[in-house]
Structure 1
């Protein structure tokens, strides 16, 4: 099976909530069913990322999205807002490839780092990102934008499980 990363097209956007919903089902096994039951990102928000050129998909042999990544710009760095992979395609390196592509885009745009927020103890979250070169940002060192994101996450109940902000410097 061949996969290809490309910029998300308008026609792809209708499929992204389904990818998010399916990807979130894996949280049930971690005792985090409310993540799987939560609302997906609204279509109009996906469209904003697509219109701004900061949404990418990884597609299968039929050019159908099986994963996506959305990128924000926060405090003069590129911030991974969301990366979701269909469970049927997990473990194939698709998330790593999407993150690598985001890092390359950010480098080309002159950004010095990639950031994200994630669950600290979920194996495919913080431990996975650490293997990709991300380091936990101590709470005392959060930038204003990351602090706002963490406060929002707490306000919607995500802090019932430990969460962290992470940063990966982009060099070269």
Structure 2
């Protein structure tokens, strides 16, 4: 398995004990569990509106990930996913739709490594920028991305397609004003 292209493409991006690769068949339940655990961190960070959100059924989650490129941070010792990112081509912009790390593997550089894999993919296909929407004031959201070269785009400066994306990615019960769109030019 170590010679498969999905494992070689992102060699050297992950911290010691991990690797970054593309998603493999059958991993959706593990990725959904990671998403649920990451959502619990958001609730603990003050995003109480997410506490009442029922987790998506597996089928809906699979539909969503199938519409994206899926990057997985794998624990080398166990061979199991420890985090993942979803990316999507939006023309000149490559969109980071989600980045989730299992809290049991947090604070080890996996988020940064997944973001590096997403950036590498965007650069391979000549995208001009990376974009995302996230909570503006959660420390491991907007400030995390700012530390990695992303800048916030003022609401008044958002083109209609990015405003629509921001609104569609705002969870039920959350205020769109609590979220921000960020970009990083490549």
- In structure 1, runs of 5+ residues without a counterpart are none
| Match in the other structure for 1:76 | 92
The 3 A distance-change label for structure 1 pair 154 and 125 is closer
- Give the Cα separation in 1 of the matches to 2:125 and 2:152: 24
Report if the CA contact (8 A) 2:53-2:172 is conserved: no
Question: Residue by residue, what CA displacement relative to the aligned partner does 1:54-106 show, whole Å, maximum 9, x if unpaired?
Answer: 00110112210010000122353111100000111111010000001100110
Shift in Å, 1:162:
1.3
Higher helix proportion (structure 1 or 2): 1
| Match in the other structure for 1:16 | 31
| Match in the other structure for 2:175 | 159
> Which runs of at least 4 in structure 1 moved beyond 3 Å after TM superposition?
39-53
The 3 A distance-change label for structure 1 pair 42 and 116 is farther
Q: Secondary structure at the match of 1:73?
A: strand
Shift in Å, 1:158:
2.3
- Give the Cα separation in 2 of the matches to 1:111 and 1:57: 21
Q: How does the TM-score come out when normalised to structure 1?
A: 0.88
Q: CA RMSD in A?
A: 2.2
- In structure 2, runs of 5+ residues without a counterpart are 1-15
- Give the Cα separation in 2 of the matches to 1:59 and 1:147: 33
Where does 1:48-67 land on structure 2 (aligned, <5 Å)?
Answer: 48=63, 51=66, 54-60=69-75, 61-67=77-83
Aligned residues: 170
Bigger shift: residues 113-122 or 39-48: 39-48
The 3 A distance-change label for structure 1 pair 45 and 169 is farther
Shift in Å, 1:40:
3.7
